[in-house]
Structure 1
């Protein structure tokens, strides 16, 4: 075997090892709420992000359920071009007091329906903005969602989070914290050293992991190159004719 062949084989092995380690597994996209944290008792604007995962169908309807066991008094929607939004209300088992008086019913569902020439095309996504408040005294709000495709298929994003388990069709979840917890976190951040950070901690962490894995793959490839060269040197040359 010629040295050039050994080198080419080792380089190919290094490239394959690096690619296998660096490229992340493709996760199935799902309906999410962004940001996914807010403060109890406050008002917030959230965005429901809906991707289309089908190659041969568009998303034509999105339904978001608003829990009424801990109702939200004010729910308002931002218009989305090409979509019609409708809210449904339900009577509350236990009325709640607000600054505007007693609330006996609350929004329990939001439905966005695409116009005839609209919809979320394959491999695209759409965002739907909602203003909510005051937020309930709870640890989280689970917004169960239904996604309807032009083919008639309905995907139910309704699985609630469970410890130690990854849901197949997770529902969007908004985590809620107490004002005192938020203030304490802000105080700690102010007292601590200032560290420059990227706008996306998750992306930075992922990029750092990918770089580390890429280096590991390169080291493995170089090790293969060294082994190949040593093997070549140990191979006796064929006697001249």
Structure 2
């Protein structure tokens, strides 16, 4: 029983750390190939107590051409372009009350990574219902870091392959939220096992 208790404690700690890590606005996947067509996903958690997230703006890096956006119920999007017609930013706005501190939204969009891209730095700006704005534009070690996507060399055929969204990543490359949910399931399973063993011992 001591071993089961230790497992439960360790899993609970791991789940807590995963929840903390997923509290940032981030863009998935974490890595793409040069010259690849890719579906990106921006995940926006709402953190501030007593207010809701009603808007998020994402600045599009120079190393990617964004072309399509998946509609999301209850939210509308406004696209900004430069003189050459390149999408430079997109703003998602809630059509209703927004999302509370225990909720999140995620938006999918498609883009083509440039042949010479080295790194994609996604700067986001999260607006709350009280007018406060959190700028996710800092360095990786900042309190509000920008999300960064690493860019690798294209495949041997000269083209990258990466049309999948964050949900298509292999198990070894799961994002913090997915990992947290998996650990939560493990905790529930271990708790059920411990309860069954206790009932058996008391008989």
Pairwise same-fold verdict (TM > 0.5): yes
**Residue matched to 1:81:** 73
Counting matched residue pairs gives 163
Counterpart of 2:153 (choices 178, 188, 195) is 178
Q: 2:109 and 2:7 mapped to 1: Cα distance?
A: 43
TM-score by length of 2: 0.67
Flag structure 2 segments of 5+ consecutive residues without an equivalent.
159-169, 188-203
Q: 1:57 and 1:136 mapped to 2: Cα distance?
A: 42
Where do 4+ consecutive residues of structure 1 move more than 3 Å?
Answer: 17-22, 180-183
**Residue matched to 2:161:** none
Counterpart of 1:34 (choices 20, 28, 47) is 28
- What's the C-alpha RMSD, in Å, of the aligned pairs? 3.2
Q: 1:182 and 1:157 mapped to 2: Cα distance?
A: 36
Shift of 1:32: 1.1
Change (3 A) 1:77 1:38: same
Q: Is the 8 A contact 2:58 2:125 kept in 1?
A: yes
Alignment of 1:1-241 (within 5 A): 23-24=13-14, 26=17, 27=20, 29-68=23-62, 70=63, 72-91=64-83, 104-115=84-95, 117-161=96-140, 166-180=141-155, 200-201=171-172, 203=179
Q: 2:126 and 2:40 mapped to 1: Cα distance?
A: 18
TM-score by length of 1: 0.58
Change (3 A) 1:20 1:59: same
Shift of 1:54: 1.9
Give secondary structure in 1 for the equivalent of 2:82: strand
Flag structure 1 segments of 5+ consecutive residues without an equivalent.
1-10, 92-103, 184-198, 212-241
Q: 1:76 and 1:53 mapped to 2: Cα distance?
A: 28
**Partner deviation per Cα, 1:118-150 (whole Å, 9 max, x = no partner):** 412221110111100143522210010000011
Give secondary structure in 2 for the equivalent of 1:120: coil
Give secondary structure in 1 for the equivalent of 2:86: strand
Q: 2:122 and 2:157 mapped to 1: Cα distance?
A: 23
Q: Is the 8 A contact 2:41 2:107 kept in 1?
A: yes
Q: 1:152 and 1:80 mapped to 2: Cα distance?
A: 23
Q: 1:181 and 1:36 mapped to 2: Cα distance?
A: 21
Q: 1:18 and 1:31 mapped to 2: Cα distance?
A: 30
